[in-house]
Amino acid sequence: VAITVHPDFSKTKKISNLLFGAFFEDINYAADGGLYAELIQNRDFEYDPADKEGKDAGWNNKKAWSTSGDGIGFTIDSLAPIHPNNKHYAVLSISKPGASLINGGFDGIALKAGAKYKVSLFARILTGGKGTITVRLTDGRGTVYGAAVINALTTSWQKSDAVITVNESISNARLEIIPMINGVLALDMISLFPQQTFKGRTNGMRADLAQTIAELHPRFIRFPGGCVAHGDGIGNIYHWKNTIGPLESRKPQRNLWGYHQSMGLGYYEYFQFCEDIGAAPLPVVAAGVPCQNSGKHGHPLGGQQCGIPLSDMNDYIQEILDLVEWANGAATTKWGKLRAAAGHPEPFSLKYIGIGNEDLISEVFKERFRMIYNAVKKKYPEITVIGTVGPFFEGSDYSEGWKFATQLKVPMVDEHYYVPPGWFIYNQDFYDKYDRAKSKVYVGEYAAHLPGRPSNLETALAEAVHLTALERNGDVVHMSSYAPLLAKEGHTQWRPDLIYFNNTEIKPTTDYYVQQLFGQNAGDEYIPGNIVCSDNDPRVKNRIALSIVKDSATNDVVIKLVNLLPVRVTASLDLDSFKVATSAVTKIILAGRPDAGELKPDRTQGLSLKDIEKIILSPYSFTVLRISGKR
């Protein structure tokens, strides 16, 4: 197959500079045990039987904790806790100093030789005299990898910390707390953090995982979900106020994906992470209704939608308005003061809020959405509200959601679709047909799914085809994010995902590299390009996709070519019309067997225009040509 590519610079159009972002949901252990760098599981003794689905789960306040040695009693109490949101704590009765309370982390604690770890805890002597607590990192078989001593035990709650330097790497250590007292001791918020978090932030993110997300160069990050945002019942709606402030005052919650959210990774941390990687924050709040997809998450509503009682809606709306004040208000405002107290006196510059997550467009939803939307628009007209046009199931469409959004003139709406690769191949004109006068689009969740099979080069290339169509439609599609982003091995509730990981390794998928290539090679001007193909069969033509963008900051022009055919394609580029005099071209190729799951792109720098006049697109490949704008 041979193609000729003719760009048409006379028809250049402005496109969104926020097109490629990231969707973060606390699904698949993405937060606790994942991106959040805390190494202790159930540090606050707040795990609850309701957190874990299945009657055999046996989760309770002691989850992940055990004792070792003689003369130690371990119970849970809730009398006079550190904070009412953090009701439970451990009570250790020590009759023989030397016995220990042990935590195995999330599938073990991974430690690196030479690295420093900060251990902290709240302690209170209930009976007996003062003493010290020895804290050790061990393999459970007698080898100690590092230790520290914590002093100053008093009869009221007191926080203490120490730094442990680890002498050897180990992937599955455990933390041992050894109170050197004879008496009864209360402990809570037992925490262990690597000192080296992403950007060195206190209460920060796991550095390697955060870096992998940063390398997507996302222009925005959506959080905290997905379904986590609206929960599987009114009582499970995510409330941002529960997730800020001192860690011991945050309110943990059952995660509807079948585990526990400590809220250690909360709104402050999300906003700070966005700032750290130059991404716009995009919080999504429930539209006053929880998830109605009973089939999907097995909640008892049976597909009916319920909502926050109308009598409580004013409070709920105020909570959303307060979020804007918390993010953007001066440090002297009621909520801005809390942001400043957390360490960020400057506003976070929040510009977007998502209201609703693929909700059924029922009367219950409409009534509540309208109330929230009008209130935000009135108080904060500068904020762009992103509505939802509902779920996209087989046989359904977005018509009801679009009708409602158009009526209300919602500036942007969120569309989701998880579909087979063929859908992306045969619906490249999906947005070409969208009415430019209506709401803009945020493709908030999408992925190519091969039922029962992991993602691979075929799904990645189908997504690349789709992303070229999004660039072409970057005047109406303003944002997009693949979903879900993260999945911890052994704790995955949803497949496929973009980045798999365990405690020591990060395993980006081939699809990740497609996202990365688009993120790192985005533009803000679209240059229409015409492909003349030697084969007119639509099954051939639809498997070759092109987009050309220009980045006005650098004047670089980027040509992206996808070949989803099992054969080579010879591509001749009409480069004369590019009118760029440069000898700096970078060529990046992602290619391989269609079923390959963890491919990485190859990069060749220092090419000239001459070198790319005629190129071969390998079977099943994605090629990015970045032509430097420097003369």
**Strands (E) located in 356-491:** 384-388, 412-419, 440-448, 477-480, 486-488
Do 52 and 88 meet the contact criterion of CB atoms below 8 Å apart? no
Residue 483 in the binding site for ligand AHR (CB under 6 A): yes
Cβ closest to ligand AHR, residue 34 vs residue 108: 34
Backbone angles phi, psi at 63, to 5 degrees: -50, 130
- Residues touching ligand AHR, count (CB under 6 A): 12
Q: Is 358 a catalytic residue?
A: yes
CB of residue 590 to ligand AHR, shortest distance in Å: 24
CB of residue 370 to ligand AHR, shortest distance in Å: 21
Residue 105 in the binding site for ligand AHR (CB under 6 A): no
> Among the options 25, 358, 463, 471, which is catalytic?
358
Do 416 and 445 meet the contact criterion of CB atoms below 8 Å apart? yes
Stretch that binds ligand AHR, among 111-119, 174-182, 222-230, 506-514 (CB under 6 A): 222-230
CB of residue 226 to ligand AHR, shortest distance in Å: 3
If you count them, how many residues does the chain have?
A: 631
Q: In 3D, which of 447, 352, 359, 440 has the Cα closest to residue 398? A: 359
CB of residue 258 to ligand AHR, shortest distance in Å: 13
Binding letters toward ligand AHR, positions 354-373, x by CB under 6 A:
---xx---------------
Residue 423 in the binding site for ligand AHR (CB under 6 A): no
Residue 227 in the binding site for ligand AHR (CB under 6 A): yes
Cβ closest to ligand AHR, residue 166 vs residue 286: 286
For ligand AHR, the binding residues in 445-474 under the rule CB under 6 A are 445
Q: In 3D, which of 211, 205, 234, 224 has the Cα closest to residue 313? A: 234
Question: CA 159, 163, 164, 166: dihedral to nearest 10 degrees?
Answer: 140
Cβ closest to ligand AHR, residue 46 vs residue 359: 359
Contact with ligand AHR (CB under 6 A) among 9, 74, 434, 494: 494
What is the C-alpha separation between 145 and 108, in angstroms, rounded? 14
Do 599 and 513 meet the contact criterion of CB atoms below 8 Å apart? yes
Do 244 and 267 meet the contact criterion of CB atoms below 8 Å apart? yes
Residue 131 in the binding site for ligand AHR (CB under 6 A): no
Longest dimension (CA), the chain: 87
Cβ closest to ligand AHR, residue 223 vs residue 348: 223
Q: Is residue 417 left, alpha or beta, with left meaning phi > 0 and alpha meaning psi from -120 to 50?
A: beta
What is the C-alpha separation between 595 and 450, in angstroms, rounded? 11
Contact with ligand AHR (CB under 6 A) among 34, 218, 225, 592: 225
CB of residue 525 to ligand AHR, shortest distance in Å: 31
Which amino acid appears at position 263 of this protein?
M
**Joined tokens for residue 474:** 């970057």
Residue 496 in the binding site for ligand AHR (CB under 6 A): no
**Burial tier of 475 (Cβ tally within 10 Å: 0-12, 13-18, 19+):** middle
Contact partners, residue 84, CB within 8 Å, separation at least 6: none
Cβ closest to ligand AHR, residue 114 vs residue 295: 295
For ligand AHR, the binding residues in 306-365 under the rule CB under 6 A are 357-358
Binding letters toward ligand AHR, positions 18-47, x by CB under 6 A:
-------x-x--------------------
Q: In 3D, which of 258, 57, 174 has the Cα closest to residue 503? A: 174
CB of residue 357 to ligand AHR, shortest distance in Å: 5
Stretch that binds ligand AHR, among 221-229, 374-382, 514-522, 564-572 (CB under 6 A): 221-229
Backbone angles phi, psi at 277, to 5 degrees: -110, 15
Helix axes of 363-379 and 310-328: crossing angle, nearest 10 degrees: 40
Residue number with the smallest Cβ distance to ligand AHR: 226
Stretch that binds ligand AHR, among 123-131, 148-156, 223-231, 313-321 (CB under 6 A): 223-231
Cβ closest to ligand AHR, residue 357 vs residue 384: 357
What is the C-alpha separation between 270 and 109, in angstroms, rounded? 24
Cβ closest to ligand AHR, residue 358 vs residue 471: 358
Residues at the contact surface with ligand AHR, assessed by CB under 6 A: 25, 27, 225-227, 357-358, 416, 445, 483-484, 494
Active site residues per annotation? 358
